[in-house]
Structure 1
Amino acid sequence: MGDRLKKKRLCGREERPRMRMVAKAISVMAFWLPFSAGNTAEPCFDQNAGFKSHFSDCRIKANEGDALAQYNLGFMYEDGHSVTRNPEKAVYWYAQAAEQNDISAQLNLAWFYFSGFEKKIPRDEKKAIYWYTRAALQGSLRAQYMLGWMYHEGTGTLSPNYEKAVHWYTRAAWQGDPRAQIALGMLYYEGEKVPADIEKAILFLTMAKANGVEEAAGLKKLAEQKRNVGPSDTEKSSAQ
């Protein structure tokens, strides 16, 4: 019986790098999905009617303070629809809309500052955090996940903050984000950055599996094996 338990523990340790690799791959692939997919609405912005006929209307309404028009004008300057691409003007108009709590504008503005947008906008993690937080507090799942990811990884001048990472991952996970669910499952499974909690690990991996993440099934099985085996001798010693 003792040998069997040792083999299970050894198996769990050998599988840990694979779990970390798979989960990180899922997280990174999902993270790099395009973010500029915002609102489209009449009368300022109608893709079916074309951009040119609406650019002047957007500009008028944007200057009058219409948040949707400001967002759409930023979008057109970003992508070069009916106007020469101009990232600086895109940032300006996104910021005008973002100040009026337009979530799409806040997300795009945060992304500009986070990514440096094709090296044409100075990277600024603090501004990215600010705008992602504004959007996250309005319930944006994408912003909540991004905050979790940024605090988890520590990007640029931003140092890792695992307490904040877990906070935002958890909010995104309970809204159904499988990336956050996988990340939490791994954090609680490994117990290196946050206190180990195998039950929470299984919970969030189960949620990810239910969301259709195929890899979550294998990760959940490994977590269940670890729970059934119990803590290793090293873990017991460190807990005493």
Structure 2
Amino acid sequence: MKNILWRYVCSVIFILGGLCSSVYAQSPQNRPPVCHRWADESDAGRITDLLEMARQGNAQAQFNLATCYAVARKFHLAAPWYRKAAELGMVEAQYNVGVSFEEGKGVARDLQQAVFWYRKAAEQGFPNAQYNLAECYDQGKGIAQDAKQAVSWYRKAAEQGDAAASFALGVSYYEGKGVARNVDQAKIWFGKAGELASHAPF
């Protein structure tokens, strides 16, 4: 049985390696074209308009401005704008604030704050945040380790088609960590993870 499961694991583990790290989320809307030509003087007016809208409290503009700064790797400028959009309830921004705190991008690294913002986004149903929150519970990052909570959040993300969460849920079932050991369920979730990972865009 171990050899059978190992084939499932090997089929996805290298693909999933690129999917498990925390990365900034993009807005459901396309990233504004100005982000692709940040230093182009012809876009100066559009940058000014975006900044003005952000200052007026437009969450989408705040998120887009933060994304432009993040694309330019100016994380110290991106972080406060993501925070403003997050405080207005924008789920992608809440997740990105969590990433900022977890990785120390533009802010001092603070795992407890990362958990706080991941939870806000996770409770709104954002699968990336659900996975990252599960991982925090799984590893005891910024919060007391709790395998059952980890499984609960892995499952929520997996049921939305998150490949990394599906794989992690399979591992939980195989190891009996936070859930009763069930090799058949482990095989099902490893299989789903492999299928999802094989169709993931790169």
1:180 equivalent in structure 2: 165
Alpha-carbon offset, residue 169 of structure 1:
0.4
Residues 130-158 of structure 1: CA deviation (Å, up to 9, x unaligned) = 21112122221111111112221233x44
* Among candidates 7, 14, 21, match of residue 32 of structure 1: 21
Q: Which runs of 5+ in 1 are unaligned?
A: 1-7, 215-240
CA RMSD of aligned residues (A): 3.2
Contact 2:22 2:99 in 1 (8 A): no
Alpha-carbon offset, residue 67 of structure 1:
0.5
| Alignment TM-score, normalising by the size of structure 2 | 0.78
Q: d(CA) in 2 for partners of 1:142 and 1:17?
A: 26
Q: 1:124 to 1:100 in 2, by over 3 A?
A: same
The question of 1:136 aligning with 2:122 is answered yes
* Among candidates 26, 40, 61, match of residue 69 of structure 1: 61
* Among candidates 34, 42, 46, match of residue 33 of structure 2: 46
1:220 equivalent in structure 2: none
1:125 equivalent in structure 2: 111
2:182 equivalent in structure 1: 197
| Alignment TM-score, normalising by the size of structure 1 | 0.67
Q: Which moved more, 1:27-36 or 1:90-99?
A: 27-36
1:92 equivalent in structure 2: 80
| Seq. identity, % | 29
Q: d(CA) in 1 for partners of 2:45 and 2:127?
A: 33
Larger radius of gyration: 1
Alpha-carbon offset, residue 123 of structure 1:
0.9
Contact 1:178 1:213 in 2 (8 A): no
Contact 1:67 1:96 in 2 (8 A): yes
Q: 1:150 to 1:48 in 2, by over 3 A?
A: closer
Q: Which runs of 5+ in 2 are unaligned?
A: 39-43
Q: 1:162 to 1:91 in 2, by over 3 A?
A: same
Residues 7-40 of structure 1: CA deviation (Å, up to 9, x unaligned) = x7xxx3x888898888766554321264253355
Instruction: Give the residue type in structure 1 aligned to 2:75.
Output: P
Contact 1:26 1:179 in 2 (8 A): no
Q: Which runs of 4+ in 1 moved over 4 A?
A: 14-28, 39-42, 48-51
Residues 215-234 of structure 1: CA deviation (Å, up to 9, x unaligned) = xxxxxxxxxxxxxxxxxxxx
Q: 1:22 to 1:129 in 2, by over 3 A?
A: farther
Aligned residues: 194
Contact 1:74 1:93 in 2 (8 A): yes
